[in-house]
Structure 1
Amino acid sequence: MSSLEEPVSPRVQDALKQLALAAESKLLTAGAVENIRSWLTENRYSDYRDQVLAHIDDQQWQKLDDVFWTIIPFGTGGRRGRMYEIGSNAINDRTIGESAQGLADYVVQYHQGSKSLSCAIAYDTRHRSRHFTELCAEVMVAAGIKVYLLDDYRATPQLSYAVRHLGCDCGIMVTASHNPPSDNAVKVYWSSGAQVLPPHDKAIIEGVMNCQEIKRANFQQALEDGMIEIVTEQIDVAYLEAASKCAFAGPREVKILYSPLHGVGEAAVVPLLQRDGFEHVTVYEPHREPSGDFPNVPGHVSNPENTAVFTKPIEQARAEGFDLVLATDPDCDRLGVAAPLTTDTSGPWGTFTGNQIAALLANYVLDKTPVARLNENSYVIKTLVTTELVRRIATSHSVRCVGNLLVGYKYIAEAMDREGPDDFLYGCEESHGYLVGSYARDKDGAVACMMMSELAADLKSKNQSMHEYLGALYQQHGYHRENLINVFMEGSEGMAAMQALMKAFRNDPPKELGGMPVKQVRDYQGQTITTLGETNTTAPLEGPVGNLIIMDMQQDGNYVAVRPSGTEPKVKFYIFTRLEASESQNLDSADVRLGDRILAIENDVRDFARLATA
């Protein structure tokens, strides 16, 4: 018997026999059996043993397999998943506690000899967020790390700012961003204010995986002793001051309807817009209540990428003469936008994709940035799966575009510090994340709201709609149209299917997509670029290492990217299409052409995925 295990009681022995029988009957996967056995026999899981035994007694094999088939990983945004009271593949006191303990142990080890370590912690409106926050704070204090707590619903970018402003060694944001109400998570930040990157992430994960004991202080006692200090008001004032410095001068006569989607955004967005001179800001009442159930949002999913969340706000906006509808996700780091198609606010409205917002804000920021601030080193940043229209806009303004980056805003933050924050102008990613200014190292929905409001006011003063403004960019740089396909693959079977699918794209990629020949395949995991032909040729690929494949078609600007999500059980297919500027002067016909092209590509991608995972 391992020193980590306790003597096995008769009840546990019986449960282990039932586990073996369930495995033989294919009711449990091998990973689930291994993890359940650990939770039944190892000392570190003793607090949860009775609950695991009760599930076995009730023969809840499917639930046990769901929550134990793997160990919940750190993805692009930290450790995220469905909440359940037990399970290595669920968010609960054990997995959150392990995450905090692994971080605390590494911070202490990394700063050996330092007498004063600190961590900033914030949380959103989700179920149990405040509970998990106390747990994380208690773990930090027990490790000798002082906690600066934003003890009210606050935005993720405010946490990033707080880490930098207070000189903290790390930070924790308790949020599952735009995930369903069933989920929660922790996002882990380093002293830069960015989410953890190599080598820190791997070392923290190692600490999490090897965590034996979760050591906790008493929250109330730590407050009294000053080891937990509440800094909500202090950070509110300082963040507002820093973020408002990103504003550009210009008109402010625009009427804004804003939805926090039941999240934290009102506390950041409304004060910032008011400080920037916007006097006509109304919070959309049905989405105003802070609630982890997201009760008035279609499907109870507060994601500004979902156009359905705008349906009701647009109805109010059209009826009451609003010029703009803005929405941020529950932790207010993502922005969604809707606006009238023309200058008639009572007429038809339309939403914008994350790529379109990225382009709109890129052009606005670069147009408004004073010439004195621009030099040969000035740059914008985007990820590999964000529209190339941003790069073309940057080039037209004689500005560099740093774009060879994996998905995840932490890579944009890393590029900011690598390239020099003084020359940074703007960062964006297709999943509705944007940043202007160097006060933080994460995307900021509040500042993005401010930029979009300024753009709307500027366009209104020129009698131009935002959709018309985007159309002019298409005519200048070529019509770009993108689409995202999410294919969900839940559980252990889903993971196997994802792996089979990625292997198929690497080893036997489609030769044609949407009637267009595939010219080459970029494999960022294998670091190869394969040119397709009668005999394929392979060469080294320069770029970041990650589980991402991009298939380039013969026509420039048309390609498909494939990657497993880092935060949800799904594979993402990003479809990019483009026409040359000469083919884009008639916007309606260009839109139809690319719409048909995207549909054809999507059908081929889905057929390929179906065969690869059959």
Structure 2
Amino acid sequence: MDASLTKAVEQWLSWNKDEASSNEIKRLVDKKEYSQLEKLLCSRMEFGTAGLRAKMGAGFSQMNTLTIIQTAQGLLKHAQSQFTPEELASKGIVIAFDARYNSKSYASLTASIFARAGCRVRLFSDICPTPYVAFSCRFYGLCLGVMCTASHNPKQDNGYKVYWSNGAQIIPPHDKAIADAIVNNLEPWESSWEIPSIPEIYINELINDPMAEVDVEYMKLLKTSSTRLEKNRKSKLKFTYTPVHGVDTIFFYQLCTPAFNLPELIEVPLQCKPDPEFPTAEFPNPEEGKGVLKLAMEAAEAGGSRHVLASDPDADRLAVVEKQDDGSWRAFTGNELGAIFGWWAVSNWKNSGSPDGENTYMLASTVSSVILKTIAKKENLLFEDTLTGFKWMGSRAKELIDQGKKVIFAFEEAIGFMYGQNVLDKDGVSAAAVMAEIITTLHEDNISLSQQLDNIYNTYGYHVTNNSYYICHDKEVINTMFARIRNWGKNSGVYPEALGRFKISGIRDLYTGFDTREEDKIAKLPVSKTSHMITFYFDGGAVLTMRTSGTEPKIKFYSEMIGSSRESCTSELNELIELMVKDFYQPEKNGLIARSLS
């Protein structure tokens, strides 16, 4: 064992007071598992704009009590640099947790560290949806918020999501500043290991439970999103709902459903209770479609329901599946649901009596469908795209709200929806309620969701998308692949002019900050050197984006073709993707693994 690894082992065993994880490191030392020890101790989890997300276990590179103590200490130090002692004492922080292993203890630990520093702490006493944290930040006017969750990751993972005073997830420069503060406060303060459990923690007068009040106030505002409460009550439809072993059963069944006067709900017995084992879904991500939702569709069939609504385990995303006339089930993509929500938001806005298009916005991430842009242009309101992730849309929404503007809808293709501006983050709770209302409204005219989607495309043009990814574990291969695109034909700084017969009319590279569509060739969206992201704009309106993932070994692509018919769009888009794979990805040469569709 070399000197650097020896030092890392000694440091871990010196700082760590959790017996189980210390014993794990000692076991690896005894077995001389030096390569594994290096992975666990010689690198740290990266704190980024999504906070933390990693596997739980011993070592500085994983989620455990020591690394969360270090994270909470760094977060506190950064908060103290941004807010006055009076602000932290009166406004403070909100902290919540999901049903995963250790989420509750991570939340209690964070609450203890902040309270000992004189900060006011609102700590939810039980599991709750992630949107409750974003909501609470603005409702109470707080300094910041923390949600302990790994969202839809596998059971062995956990995470630590940070919100700022604007009610949105953190963006630069806060992410880097927090990361630096963590590194500067790695040694645990002696008091940090004094972690009272819930409910004993509420003995501290600086800590209280906001659950009851937030339940009431969130649902009160949610009701304002409904345009037909009494009509909902009369609907005879049945909806099947699953939280995929997550937190949202109690909130959707007992709070959200009555708030919207929604009709009868059918449970999915094996998935309706929170369970950190996720026994029926190894990857509990409803975005994956019918594979994850098989049990829900079976429950719907048995109960005579034609619609499945599904949240991910922390209830910030929504999936929708509809039974078709031929008996098959259709899982809608995030882009398709975005089109339906966008149409609904604009319809209600137009019927509001005084639509002000110059001050009304819809937002979408830059890799999502441009359907909202098309709708906004035709209906005379405004549209903006942002970088990928709701941290950017939420922050931009708050800027617009502060300017006196109104944001009626925002979405990302990964089934994340922000309907209205009560919560400046994706919110699967409100999205499920609004979607149920959309379905009940359409049902009165015997229109299905699939038919309405066709109606939308007939009105605004077909927007056919195709998104997927390749897996690559070698960063050098990825870097070489993107460098080749930026130096096409071995010409430095020259990008491709076409893909086969598809002529490229514009290119935006948010890794280098280059955008041919701008007069000065400088991209208007923020530039990031942490991940590659190139968007190609083609003659005729097609758009293709390639980007690397910040948390997974994936090279993703997002593509869209706009035209007068689904068939022609699909055919042309498939041709474009084949050319992209052949000319850009070169999977055989680069050893890339295609996404499994099983």
Measured after TM superposition, the shift of residue 166 of structure 1 is 2.4
Measured after TM superposition, the shift of residue 385 of structure 1 is 0.7
Q: Deviations over 1:394-425 (max 9, x none)?
A: 2222110011x111111111111211265111
| Partner residue of 2:433 out of 450, 454, 458 | 450
Distance 1:46 1:314, change over 3 A: closer
Instruction: Name structure 1 gaps, 5 residues minimum.
Output: 1-17, 21-32, 532-536
8 Å CA contact 2:133–2:145 kept in 1: the answer is: yes
Measured after TM superposition, the shift of residue 243 of structure 1 is 1.8
SS in 2 for 1:54: helix
Could you say which residue in structure 2 is the equivalent of 1:13? none
- Counting only pairs closer than 5 Å after superposition, residues 302-317 of structure 1 correspond to structure 2 as 302-317=285-300
SS in 2 for 1:556: coil
Could you say which residue in structure 2 is the equivalent of 1:281? 265
Letter in 2 for 1:40: E
Distance 1:141 1:514 in 2: 61
Letter in 1 for 2:552: P
Could you say which residue in structure 1 is the equivalent of 2:178? 204
Measured after TM superposition, the shift of residue 51 of structure 1 is 4.7
Distance 1:131 1:497, change over 3 A: farther
Distance 2:279 2:46 in 1: 29
Distance 1:166 1:579, change over 3 A: closer
Distance 2:261 2:26 in 1: 60
Distance 1:610 1:577 in 2: 26
Distance 1:613 1:101 in 2: 40
- Counting only pairs closer than 5 Å after superposition, residues 235-274 of structure 1 correspond to structure 2 as 235-249=214-228, 251-252=231-232, 253=235, 254-270=237-253, 271-274=255-258
Distance 1:487 1:145, change over 3 A: farther
Distance 1:440 1:136 in 2: 23
Whether 1:528 aligns to 2:514 is yes
8 Å CA contact 2:398–2:424 kept in 1: the answer is: no
Could you say which residue in structure 1 is the equivalent of 2:145? 171
Measured after TM superposition, the shift of residue 485 of structure 1 is 2.3
Distance 1:446 1:468 in 2: 25
Measured after TM superposition, the shift of residue 100 of structure 1 is 1.1
Measured after TM superposition, the shift of residue 62 of structure 1 is 4.3
- Counting only pairs closer than 5 Å after superposition, residues 334-345 of structure 1 correspond to structure 2 as 334-341=317-324, 344=325
SS in 2 for 1:487: strand
Measured after TM superposition, the shift of residue 447 of structure 1 is 0.8
Distance 1:505 1:428 in 2: 29
Which of 358-367 and 226-235 deviates more?
226-235
8 Å CA contact 1:486–1:570 kept in 2: the answer is: no
Distance 2:338 2:378 in 1: 16
Whether 1:40 aligns to 2:26 is no
SS in 1 for 2:120: strand
Whether 1:154 aligns to 2:112 is no
Could you say which residue in structure 2 is the equivalent of 1:534? none
- Counting only pairs closer than 5 Å after superposition, residues 502-513 of structure 1 correspond to structure 2 as 502-508=482-488, 512-513=498-499
Distance 1:551 1:289 in 2: 42
Distance 1:611 1:296, change over 3 A: closer
Q: Please, what TM-score do these two structures have when normalized by structure 2?
A: 0.87
Instruction: Name structure 2 gaps, 5 residues minimum.
Output: 489-494, 594-598
- Counting only pairs closer than 5 Å after superposition, residues 417-496 of structure 1 correspond to structure 2 as 417-420=398-401, 422-490=405-473, 494-496=474-476
Distance 1:427 1:351 in 2: 20
| Partner residue of 1:64 out of 5, 27, 37 | 37
8 Å CA contact 2:287–2:319 kept in 1: the answer is: yes
Letter in 1 for 2:372: V
Letter in 2 for 1:372: S
| Partner residue of 2:502 out of 489, 495, 516 | 516
Letter in 2 for 1:240: M
Measured after TM superposition, the shift of residue 73 of structure 1 is 1.3
Could you say which residue in structure 1 is the equivalent of 2:596? none
Measured after TM superposition, the shift of residue 193 of structure 1 is 1.6
8 Å CA contact 1:263–1:290 kept in 2: the answer is: yes
Q: Deviations over 1:126-158 (max 9, x none)?
A: 111112112111221222212211111100101
Whether 1:383 aligns to 2:362 is no
- Counting only pairs closer than 5 Å after superposition, residues 571-586 of structure 1 correspond to structure 2 as 571-581=554-564, 584=565
Distance 1:457 1:19, change over 3 A: same
Measured after TM superposition, the shift of residue 337 of structure 1 is 0.6
Could you say which residue in structure 2 is the equivalent of 1:411? 392
Q: Deviations over 1:353-386 (max 9, x none)?
A: 1111111100111112214243411111111111
Could you say which residue in structure 1 is the equivalent of 2:492? none
Distance 1:540 1:590, change over 3 A: closer
Distance 2:556 2:353 in 1: 39
Letter in 1 for 2:388: V
8 Å CA contact 2:543–2:561 kept in 1: the answer is: no
Q: Tell me how large the CA RMSD over aligned residues is.
A: 2.8
Could you say which residue in structure 2 is the equivalent of 1:6? none
Letter in 2 for 1:556: G
Which of 201-210 and 52-61 deviates more?
52-61
Distance 1:137 1:266 in 2: 26
